[in-house]
Every structure is written in C-alpha cells, then in structure tokens.
Amino acid sequence: MRKHIMIFLITLCLLVSCMAGCGLSYNSNDTSGNVSGTPNEGNTKSDKVKLKFFTGKIETIDIINEIINDFNASQNRITVEQEYQKDASNIIKIKFASADIPDIMTTYEQGFVDDGKFLDLSNCSQWWDRLLPSMKESCTDVKTGKQYRVCTNMTMAGFFYNKDIFSGLNLETANTWDEFTSNLETIKEQMPDVTPWFIFGKEAWHLGHLIEFIPHGYIKQSLGAVEAKKAMLNNDKAKLNFGAPDGAMAVFAQNMIDLKNKGYINSDVLTAVSDNCVQDFASGKAAMLSNGMWVLSSLLEANPDMENKIGFAPYPAYMPGSKPVVLSAEDSGYSISATTPYQEECIAFLDFLFLADNQKKYAEGCKAPSAFKDVTAEWAPAAIVSEVESALKNAVNIGFTNEKPAGFSGDDMGRMLQDVLVGSYTAESFASAYEKTWDEGMK
C-alpha cells in the first residue's frame, strides 16, 4: 500500500512539474473566452486577470498595442496593458524593489537573472522548436544553460549613411578610425550645412549603445563571444582592462572628445533626441547616424524616397590590430516575472504574440528579421538588405552586452558618456571612473 501511495505521489509531482511555467497556451480555436491549461493556484478560469506589460522600446509601442488589442478582444478573461518608460532599464529596478513588478517585460540584465527575477522558460518547447538555433543560443544564460527570455527577432546595428552624399564626395565606407574621421572631415569641409555624424545624446540609451558597440565591441572581438561573456560575468579586470589609460575605454572617450571639438558631430549633441536625428537624416541634413535596424521604419516614414539611398556599414576598427564590428544579435526579448501569480496567463499572451501572422506583422513593422523559422517577412527593401548582408560578411559580428552588472545599466553607461561630452571627464578619468562604476555595480 505504501509503495502504491509513493508511486502516486511521485507521479503527481511530475505532472505538476510539467504543467508549471509553460503549461498554458493560447488556443486560437477556443471561443469560450478562456485559455487552455490549468490556472495557478487561487485562480479559476472565470477570474478576470490584468497583465502588466513593461517595455522601453519606443519604436514598438504602436504595433504591440495593436496585437494587445487583438488579444484582449479574442477572449474575455485576460486583459493586457502596456507601459512604456523611456528610462526603462533604471525604472525596472524601482519596480523590482516595490510591489509594482510587471508580469511581462522587455528589460533584461544578467544581474536580474542571478537574483531570480525571471521565470525559467526552458520548457516552453512551443517557442524553442520554432526559433532559429542561433537565436536560442543567444537567449541562453551562460551560467545556468537555461533560458529566461525568448527573442522574436534579430537585429543589426552599425552606421547608416546617405549613399548620395558619399557617392557625391567620392567617399568609401571606413574600415579604420583614421578613414572614418577623414570621411567626416571631408563632409564638414565640402558640405558645411550637413552634420557629418548626428548623435542624439539626450537619450542616454543611445550613448550607452555606442559604448556597447565600439569599446565593448573591441573586447568581444579580442576575447571571442563566449570568453568575453565570462570575463564580464566574472569581472576579470585583467581581460576587460576598462581602466587602462591606453585601453579601449580611454581611447574611445578621447576619440569622442576629438570629434566634438572638431565639429564632426552635431553641436546640440546633448539636447538632441531620436526624432531630431531621424528628421535631419531623412532630409539630407545629416550624413551618418549610428543605430539598429529598428530605426528604419522611422527613416522611411519620414522620407519614403530614401529607400535606395540608405547605406549600412560596420563600426570602424579603432584599436591596434582590431577589425570593424557590426552588431548581429537577438532583438525583442520577453521575460516573465518569477513572482507573478499569472505565469500561465503570461504564457498565453506570449503564445498569441508569437503567432506567425502576428510576428510577420511585427517584423515588417519594426524592420527586423524574424527569429522564427516559420515566419517569412519582407522586413526591409532589397537594397537595404543587401547593404546589411555585405556588412555582416565584412566585419566581426558581436552581440549585446547582457552581462553588465544590474547596478550599471545601459542608461547609466550613456550618462557617463554624456559627462564626457560635456567636459566633466578627461579620457583617462572616464576610463578609471567606468571601471570603478562597473566594479560597484557588481556588488
């Protein structure tokens, strides 16, 4: 009798385990107003559930709201509400420290994984079976080998440039920093009414991205993707070399100071926002900008005639012995709170969001290739796709810096670069302060 009871209990535990996390999914054929699966304890299928969806991705607000509205209308039990915050990487820290924790979020950092903030999604085979293997690998936590987020798209980031301006001045895209600054100088001298490189520095995340792609990019190509992740996770100071006066951070900071002093970037760099950049580039008043594929929709909306005029190039090599780099990484990642009482309902919404038709709409609207094998999307005009493919072949492909400390966000990094541009740091003092802030963030 005891043996039978023990077998029953073990079987019951296994069933509960299998149902946890990814046990509930959206059923598009169910018209009852319910979602499939078993709700969490304390909830019944008749309960009304409100899910909070938190994002810092301004370029996806409208299309996500469309999909949210479709989901809310498709059943009568779960209501999803989207919250956008410009400073999302810091606002989420406040939310985690309070009772206002989102159920689903696009913010993701290694420190939050380490602190157990996110639900383990490793068993959600309905997603992983559809995802490109390289994108699943990008979503895999190096420490545990598990997945705490799922991406829906891929993205690339580098320099967008005006092909008409470059061809008119007989310029070629740069492989080295000297070639890059020479191009900027030519543009400034020959076209004084055009900003050679427009940087919207009021938005800290944008400056944080420059640090991710240029000095962090050098570290990633020097160490290799996996070793760079490990060095950042372990804060291996000898390999990262953040504070060295002749290291990647100091050289990068001095380069940015020089560009500002020579007038190669816009004079309003510290007050300019993304829309200023888009409008100037679309109207031919700016020759270059740094950004990811997510900016394409805004550029083409501002000027549809630019379809064949937009070029794309890697970030030039700027350290001795280095090569150009281009971001090629996961994009649009989603995580679920480990403490939400509505884990299964969150999965039901993500199942709906990840439907092939919704992802085709999303990929084409956001101008980002889909990470799903069963989604075919015309995410960009053919001329731009060709430019991107060429850049990827001719540069070291790097990923995002997800391994940075939870106490040192991308926005924090960007604010330090703002201080460089305003003159609060020398190149060497910036490198030293960056290393110190990274160290403190690890604590």
Query: CATH no. for residue 77?
Result: 3.40.190.10
Instruction: Give 154's DSSP letter.
Output: E
Question: How would residue 29 be classed by pLDDT, with cut points 50, 70 and 90?
Answer: very low
Same domain, 214 and 344: no
Neighbours of 7 (CB within 10 A): 10
Which residues are paired to 328 by β-bridges? 156
The count of domains in the chain is 2
What's this model's pTM, rounded to 2 decimal places? Answer: 0.76
Same domain, 44 and 173: no
Question: Residue 263 domain-assigned?
Answer: yes
Top-confidence range, 30-44, 205-219, 378-392? 205-219
Question: Residue 374 domain-assigned?
Answer: no
Question: Residue 115 domain-assigned?
Answer: yes
Same domain, 235 and 301: yes
Same domain, 202 and 344: no
Residue 87: CB partners within 8 Å, gap ≥ 6? 56, 204, 411
- The pairing of beta strand 78-84 with beta strand 49-55: parallel
- For residue 7, is pLDDT > 70? no
Same domain, 199 and 278: yes
Same domain, 270 and 349: no
pLDDT recorded at residue 17: 41
Same domain, 335 and 264: no
Distance (Å, whole) CA 371 – CA 147: 15
Residue 154 near residue 328, CB atoms below 8 Å = yes
Same domain, 161 and 266: yes
pLDDT recorded at residue 23: 55
Question: Residue 345 domain-assigned?
Answer: yes
Domain endpoint, select from 366, 394, 418: 366
Question: Residue 112 domain-assigned?
Answer: yes
Residue that has been written with the tokens 């020959």 in this structure = 190
Domain of residue 194, residue span: 156-329+381-442
Q: What value does the mean pLDDT of the chain take?
A: 89
Question: Residue 201 domain-assigned?
Answer: yes
- For residue 2, is pLDDT > 60? no
- Amino acid symbol at 184: L
Same domain, 275 and 354: no
Residue 35 near residue 25, CB atoms below 8 Å = yes
Instruction: Specify the range with the lowest mean pLDDT, choosing from 29-33, 94-98, 261-265, 322-326.
Output: 29-33
Residue pLDDT, tens place only, 167-211: 999 999 999 999 999 999 999 999 999 999 999 999 999 999 999
Same domain, 44 and 160: no
Residue pLDDT, tens place only, 242-291: 999 999 999 999 999 999 999 999 999 999 999 999 999 999 999 999 99
Question: How would residue 42 be classed by pLDDT, with cut points 50, 70 and 90?
Answer: very low
Same domain, 284 and 355: no
Distance (Å, whole) CA 293 – CA 368: 6
Question: Residue 27 domain-assigned?
Answer: no
Instruction: Specify the range with the lowest mean pLDDT, choosing from 30-39, 52-61, 327-336.
Output: 30-39
